[in-house]
Amino acid sequence: MEDKEIISCLVMRNEDAIREIQNKFGSYCYQIANNILNSREDAEECVNDTLNIIWKTVPPAKPVSLKAYLGKIVRNQALIKYRTYHAQKRFCGLELIMDELDECIPSDSDSTDEANSNMLTEMINSWLGNLSKADRELFLRRYYLCESVREIAERYGLNQNAMAQRLSKLRNRLKDYLDKRGYSL
């Protein structure tokens, strides 16, 4: 079933849409959640929560890209669960990724108000749009999908050190880009 058909089924409240989403995007959603949480049970729970959310939000939402919409929902669910566990000091696997980004976007930055946050988002999206497809994919795999450097290196046939260097250069380019546009640490 094509994505548009799945969305139409959701709009018509046809439960077959959920089964189709599970079949077509279940492993994609699971991978995103598991990359963040590093727990099979918690990742599965996030996927189930995502299916529940999509059932409740479509309609009124009619996503242009079902895969991107699901990815955003499952990522947000995993981050919520991660923050809950982190507050309880259960595990801290995401800190490494956040520490890497702190070089150019500090997590305790003053961009907490919505206007500054939106401006930063627009700048990052613009920067991503100017990258080569390969660099954009690497950056998103690491910092959006939270894949490990090892996984990314294996995917592209590079060693981990070379991949870590490439990601470091991308972060430095982002920092320079933001600095030139008035966003500085």
Average pLDDT of span 55-67:
93
CA–CA dist 75, 72 (Å, integer): 5
Which of 44, 69, 87 finishes a domain? 87
| pLDDT one-digit tens code per residue, 115-128 | 677 788 889 999 99
Which of 29, 58, 87 finishes a domain? 87
In this structure, which long-range contacts are made by residues 106-109, counting pairs with CB atoms below 8 Å and at least 24 apart in sequence? 106/185, 109/185
Instruction: Tell whether pTM > 0.85.
Output: no
Owning domain of residue 13: 3-87
DSSP 145: S
| pLDDT one-digit tens code per residue, 66-108 | 999 999 999 999 999 988 876 655 445 566 676 677 767 755 4
Domain count, the chain: 2
What CATH number should be reported for the domain holding residue 13?
1.10.1740.10
Which of 58, 87, 116 finishes a domain? 87
